[in-house]
Structures are given as C-alpha cells and as structure tokens.
Structure 1
Amino acid sequence: MASSPGRPRDRSVDERISRAALELLREQGPEAVHIDGVATRSGVARTTIYRRFRNREALIAATIALFGEEPFPAAELPVEDKLRWLLEQVRGLVEEQLGRGVVAAVLADSDPVFSAALRARLTRRLKALQGQIDADVAEGRIRRGADAEALAGLVFGAYLGELLQYGRARPGWADGVIDLLLRGIRVPSGS
C-alpha cells in the first residue's frame, strides 16, 4: 500500500485491520470479510479502513496477500521430497491459512469475489510450480509433459478426499500419495 502525504501510518492500526480480517475469514468465512465487519472486529473506524482499501475487493486481495508463501524447495532435492513439500503446502493452506470452512465456501463459490481472488493467487503459484517441474524435466527427474496444474489438482484432491473420508490426514497417508504420484511422473528406468 502506498502512503499518502500527511501523517505517517500507524502500523499497529494496519496490524489490527489485518488480524481482524484474517480472524473473520477463518472463523466465519469470506462473506464476513467486509469493511463494516473488519471495523467492528478491529475497533478501527470505517473511514480509516477506507483510506487503506477503496472497497471490499481491495480488502479481500490484501487479506489473501497475508497468506505466507514458502519458497519452493531447492532444485537439487529429490522429486519425492518436492512432492512431500507440496503436500505440506496444501495441508498448511487448508488447515492453517484458510481453514476448512473457507475451502468449503470456495468450493461452493458462495463468495465469487473471494473465490476469484484466491484462484488468481493459486494460478500465479502454479505458474511458478510449472517452472520447477520444467527444470526437473530438463534434468531428467520427471517425465516430459508433466503438468503442474494437474499435479497440484491431484495433491489438492487427495488431501480433500482424505478429509472427507476420515476427517483428517491419517498417519502414513502422504507416503501412499507420493508413491502413486511418483509412478505417474517419474522417468521410466532405461529412458
């Protein structure tokens, strides 16, 4: 956010707004993240929030931007470790950053503004993931034609399927998923 001329911004106010938006998102879903709701939760005046965010869409985008993005694993790591990292990223996104209720809201598309903003962020991350996959293809660690979007979809789907079936990820579950994924993307021996 660019500062406007005048008094410097109070970082504690920015932090209260951010914290309130994240709490509302996790506790009540994306529909609860709006200027009035954040003002009530944070104790910050609506006018102050509007000085920082021109509308709800800007507030939603800023809230999504608060989600951490771990750097991709080192290029030299084995593909198995990279898949384990990807599974952990999906788990962290669902369980720690978004929360299960938000995932359900996105699946139901109950808040199209939020869903579109989240999908845009995930698409940017997938483009970066495709670069990682392309590097592994070039190094001969992954077969040609591996599709980052399909791989990410399989990982997301596997995690959500595990939650639907068991309510949690069972011990050893990730090992089974990684084994199946490796069978599909690994370069056949002798190639």
Structure 2
Amino acid sequence: MTELAPQVKAVRGRAIDARILSVTLDILRGHGPAAVNIEAVAAKAGIAKTTIYRRYDSREHLLRAAIESSTGEVAIPTDLPTYETFKWLLHDAARMAENMVGRGAAASIILNDHPESNDLMREMIKARSVRLTEFLHERVAAGDLKADLDIGLAATVLLGALFGQLIRGGELDDEWADSVLELLWPGFSA
C-alpha cells in the first residue's frame, strides 16, 4: 500500500475539519447548544468519533471552534446614507443570526438553558456588536443621529428586535427590516 502524499493528506484533513465544523453549526442552529455533542456530530457527519476527538478533546472545544469558525469581521458600507446603513446592518445581523446562531441557539441564549455554550455565543455576538456601536458613535458625531442617543440602548434594541423575530419564527426579510426602521428611526434620527 502506498503512502498518501502530504498534500493529499492535508487537503483531506481540511475537508474533514470543515465537515465537522459545518455539521456542528447545523446542529447548533437547529437544536441549540445542548444538542451538540461528539456522538451527534459524528453520526450526522458520517465520521468516526475518534476522528473528532483527535481534533477536539471535548464537546466545549468543538463548540468553541465551530462558533469561532463562523465569525468574521463586519465591514459596514461607508457609501450609504445612515438610514440605508441601518437597513444593511439589520440584514447583516439577520444573516449572522440565521447562518451562525440559528433559531435553536437564539432560544437557548434567551432561556440560558446551557450557560457555558451560551457564554460562547454571547462573546461572538458582543464581538460583532462592537462594530455596530462604533457605527452609532460615528453617526452621532456626524450629526445624523441624536446627540444624546443612548448608544448601548440603541444597540440593544436593534439586537432585541432581531432575536425577538427569530424566537417568534418570523421572516428576517426586507419587509421586517423596513418595519423595524420605521418604528425606531424617529427615536434615532437627529
């Protein structure tokens, strides 16, 4: 039997890593963090548990790796008017919620039924909301938003609208984003 070339092994290894993380995120999105365990991921991915354990020594490490793999820097467009940027932010947050967190994990965060995993997800949400807070400060400084706008509260209200819609099972579409902005804009705009 011939040994596989190192490049082939590396490509296969990356494909297996990607599959493990993808399946972990699928389970997290659909059923929340309590449903994520090595056995469930192995079964759904069609991969031996030992393969997963070689990469992640615990369920918590696997979950952390999956959550971290799904996060990235937010590049807020700079060429849009403030109102349109808010709309873009709501859509980006909706994509993040659907693709990274999912309805199952959102419910888990609100119910706090799995504190360790929920802390990981809260860290991810806080990291992404830093850019939102910076944007709000920039737009207040530019005079587009009320000078006395409570930035923390504004960010909380926007995130709350998103999570509320997720929990209710509603669509996160243009109509939803427009409705949220119609309601909030008078309280935000200068």
150, 175, 180: which one aligns with 2:183: 180
- The alignment-based identity, stated in percent, is 33
Matched, 1:10 2:13: yes
1:41 Cα deviation after fit: 2.1
Q: Label 1:49 to 1:147 Cα distance change in 2 as closer, same or farther (>3 A).
A: farther
1:164 Cα deviation after fit: 6.2
Asked whether the 8 Å contact 2:22–2:66 carries over to 1, the reply is no
Q: Label 1:31 to 1:178 Cα distance change in 2 as closer, same or farther (>3 A).
A: same
Q: Deviations over 1:68-92 (max 9, x none)?
A: 5463322342110111012212322
1:170 Cα deviation after fit: 7.8
1:181 Cα deviation after fit: 2.3
- C-alpha distance in structure 2 between counterparts of 1:91 and 1:137, whole Å: 24
Partner of 1:152: 155
1:173 Cα deviation after fit: 3.7
Structure 1 counterpart of 2:178, which letter? D
Asked whether the 8 Å contact 2:107–2:167 carries over to 1, the reply is no
98, 101, 104: which one aligns with 2:104: 101
- C-alpha distance in structure 1 between counterparts of 2:21 and 2:141, whole Å: 41
- C-alpha distance in structure 1 between counterparts of 2:162 and 2:26, whole Å: 24
Structure 2 counterpart of 1:52, which letter? R
Q: Label 1:74 to 1:94 Cα distance change in 2 as closer, same or farther (>3 A).
A: closer
Q: Deviations over 1:44-93 (max 9, x none)?
A: 33333223223222211111123254633223421101110122123223
1:185 Cα deviation after fit: 2.0
Partner of 2:123: 120
66, 69, 81: which one aligns with 2:69: 66
Matched, 1:26 2:29: yes
Asked whether the 8 Å contact 1:90–1:155 carries over to 2, the reply is no
Structure 2 counterpart of 1:67, which letter? S
TM-score, normalized by length of structure 1? 0.78
Asked whether the 8 Å contact 2:64–2:120 carries over to 1, the reply is yes
1:171 Cα deviation after fit: 6.6
1:122 Cα deviation after fit: 1.0
Q: Compare relative contact order (CA 8 Å, sep 6+) and give the higher one, 1 or 2.
A: 2
1:137 Cα deviation after fit: 2.1
Structure 2 counterpart of 1:183, which letter? P
- The aligned runs of 1:32-43 (5 Å cut-off) are 32-43=35-46
Asked whether the 8 Å contact 1:130–1:147 carries over to 2, the reply is no
Q: Secondary structure at the match of 1:140?
A: coil
| Number of residue pairs the alignment of both structures matches | 181
RMSD: 2.7
- The aligned runs of 1:74-89 (5 Å cut-off) are 74-89=77-92
